[in-house]
Structure 1
Amino acid sequence: MINYNLLESQIDNLAKSFAEAKPIRHLTIDNFLSEEVANQAFSVFPTMEEMDVLKDFRQDKAQDPAINKFNLIFSELVSQHLHSERFLALISRISGIPNLRTDSKLYAAGLAQGGNGSFLNVHIDNSSHPVNPWYRRLNLLVYLNKHWAEENGGNLELWSPDMSESVAILPIFNRMVIFATDKQSWHSYRRVNTLDGDTRKSINLYFFTEESADGTHYYHVTSFKARKNEILNKIVYPVDNLVRTVARALRPNKDAHAVLYEQKGKNDRKNP
């Protein structure tokens, strides 16, 4: 399913590209899946109505970790390939992050989709797994958008902490992106413009370690930041982040709200 030959034959070059990328360490790989698998995943991708929708002033998209509800190709791709020891060893070498763990519960992961007007504003993800004592370390995205052009928007944006530098990555068909996640890994995606009814489709996964990115203990909720031209958000987001941080800290189980995918008989993998 995965183009392992491409990854394994270029592993040193890919690791170098990841390490040198700015403003966040990241890597983009096209033709990531075999053509047959990519086409099949595109053809059976669920509709927006079949997925859970997240819509507020921070975001407008569908996200669903319960991939067993959908075509078998998605659970096979995740469990047998993207969560395999072979692939885990590859992305560990590429990223330089040892002891990576997969998350069979697919916290905040699974399939994602956005129709016309969809967006995800600049943010850093929740630092930790809601059940296991793990820190989030890598985000992986596989895009399944045929005939996607710049005018369709939806570009993944990676930002420097002071918002002075960014890179935009077009979510074209069969493109995979991984990027490092830590306390300063600000990212977003631009508003989608698809008046023809098309949608921005992706498979989203996260990888964790027991150690934090900087070796210290920290916790933060998913926190949003305004772009330089977003005057109202510069006022709203700091207050919103603070309120959610305080509310989370007061809960006996601060991440009890998390929606998880229950895979019976599956264990989380650790890089050997």
Structure 2
Amino acid sequence: MSAVLTLPLDPPVLEQPLPPAAPQPRFPPASDFVSIRGVRLPRMELVDPSLFAPERVAQLREQLMAGQPFPHLVLDHIFHPALLELVLEEFDARPENWTEVKSRYESTRRSVLGPTLAPATQLYFDIIHSGWFIDWLSALTGVPYLLSDPKLFGGGLHESRTGATFAVHRDFNRHRHLGLKNEMVFITYLNKGWDPSWGSALELWDKKHDRCVTTVQPEFGRTILLPHGPVSYHGHTKPLQAPDGRPRRSVAAYYYSSPLAGKQHGDESASIFMKTHRVDRAKAIARMLTPPAFWMLARKMTGRA
């Protein structure tokens, strides 16, 4: 942790430059494995490494922005299938983790807030909550300083059973407990041998013309990145009718932003020392009396910006 000498002053808010993107994660050695219930998972292949090449990021960003009726991105097989098979196995591992959600608008089951996750499911969320993965999401969406939610409010494990529907809706604007702005949801489906005739596909709706424009089948290994916005209406209105009674399953996580992100609020981000030298107190007073733009220029010129 760095410490910066400061007095408890509160000058005006200053915009901070966006840190450089890091689309290339530091993958572990090829010989590095994690073992879950006897299944060896190569760490370097848990996520498709080709997704992080700069040219691929640019291509995916264009694809996302071209999505209709609003920006979204559908990707297949970006996670190692053995990892997702283990995650699927764990849906029945902890029955105490579930809560039933039933209303005239939806019928579904979700994991509770702050669930105790089994190993493979925890690994999946560790991956998508990692700094390098979030940097990738920021590069795709253009939203800097994304924040994850380890308690998985609104996310976690999702399951729909026979007859279940979810009316067309927009997701919540802000995290109920943290007050952070909802920026996007990231969903991976876990349904093997899916038949579109069973219903329950994800529908992306054009609110203005009151019609479904895009349908996404919840097939095993398919992931959708769905930025949140005023027109991002979606749902699955056709009741699930799988012939063998199988459920529709997915794992989901939301990402957020803070209204203070990228802004310097005085010296609130620095340590405050109880005792300071006279010369440093004088500097702090000079900083208070000098236009903030001067100090930002000085920091840039000295390489401290």
Query: Which category of TM-score, normalised to the shorter sequence, fits these structures?
Result: 0.7 to 0.9
- Deviation for aligned residue 1:134: 1.4
Mean CA deviation greater in 93-102 or 171-180 = 93-102
Q: Deviations over 1:64-108 (max 9, x none)?
A: 145643422112221x21100010001111111112111122111
* CA distance in structure 1 between the partners assigned to 2:200 and 2:129 by the alignment: 26
**Deviation of the 1:47 alpha carbon:** 7.5
Distance (Å, rounded) in 2 between the aligned partners of 1:208 and 1:129 = 8
Counterpart code for 1:113: E
Larger Rg: 2
Give matches, 1:136-175, under 5 Å.
Answer: 136-162=182-208, 163-175=210-222
2:229 equivalent to 1:185: no
Q: Which residue of 1 aligns with 2:245?
A: 197
**Which residue of 2 is the match for residue 72 of structure 1?**
119
Answer whether contact 1:161 1:186 (CA < 8 A) is retained: yes
State the AA in 2 paired with 1:203. Answer: V
Structure 2 residue aligned with 1:55 = 102
Q: Which residue of 2 aligns with 1:7?
A: 51
Distance 1:92 1:61, change over 3 A: same
Is residue 127–residue 183 contact of structure 1 (8 Å, CA) maintained in 2?
no
Match of 2:138 among 87, 92, 111: 92
Residue of structure 1 in register with 2:129 after alignment = 83
Cα gap change, 1:164 to 1:140, in 2 (>3 Å): same
DSSP-derived class of the 1:44 partner: helix
- Alpha-carbon distance in 2 for matches of 1:153, 1:52: 23
Maintained 8 Å contact 2:115/2:151: no
Partner-residue secondary structure (3-state), 1:69: coil
| Residues 60 and 119, structure 1, Cα contact 8 Å, conserved in 2 | yes
**Structure 1 residue 170: Cα displacement:** 0.2
In structure 2, C-alpha distance between the alignment counterparts of 1:126 and 1:39, rounded to whole Å: 30
How far apart are the structure 2 equivalents of 1:48 and 1:85? 28
Residue aligning to 1:27: 73
Q: SS state of the match for residue 50, structure 2?
A: helix
Aligned partners of 2:72, 2:234: CA distance in 1, in Å? Answer: 11
For the residue of structure 2 that corresponds to 1:45, the secondary structure is helix
* Unaligned ranges ≥5, structure 1: 213-272
Counterpart of 1:21, as a letter, is: G
Structure-2-length-normalised TM-score:
0.65
Q: Which residue in 1 is equivalent to 2:14?
A: none
d(CA) in 1 for partners of 2:67, 2:108: 28
For residues 207 and 11 of structure 1, do their structure 2 counterparts lie closer, same or farther at Cα, with a shift above 3 Å needed?
same
Q: Give the 3 Å change call, closer, same or farther, for CA 66–26 of structure 1 in structure 2.
A: same
Give the letter for the 1:5 counterpart.
P
Higher mean Cα deviation, 159-168 or 102-111? 159-168
Q: Does the 8 A contact of 1:23 with 1:158 survive in 2?
A: yes
Q: Structure 1 residues 105, 42: closer, same or farther in 2, change over 3 A? A: closer
Q: Which amino acid aligns with 1:123?
A: H
Q: Distance in 2 between matches of 1:91 and 1:186?
A: 21
Please give the secondary structure, in 1, of the residue aligned with 2:148: coil
Which residue matches 2:63?
17
RMSD value, Cα: 2.0
Contact between 1:67 and 1:75, CA under 8 Å: does it hold in 2? no
Q: Please state how far the C-alpha of 1:126 moved relative to its aligned partner.
A: 1.5
CA distance in 2, matches of 1:189, 1:211: 32
> Which residue pairs with 2:161 in the alignment?
115
Shift of 1:147: 0.7
Contact 2:99–2:112, Cα closer than 8 Å, also in 1:
no
Identical aligned pairs, as a percentage? 22
Q: How does 1:182-261 map to 2 (within 5 A)?
A: 182-190=229-237, 191-211=239-259
5+ residue gaps, structure 2, are 1-42, 261-305
Given the superposition, is the C-alpha separation of residues 153 and 164 from structure 1 closer, same or farther in structure 2, using an over 3 Å criterion?
closer
Write out per-residue CA displacement over residues 203-245 of structure 1, whole angstroms, 9 at most, x where no aligned residue. Answer: 0111111249xxxxxxxxxxxxxxxxxxxxxxxxxxxxxxxxx
- State whether residues 140 and 179 of structure 1, in contact with CA within 8 Å, keep that contact through their aligned partners in structure 2: yes
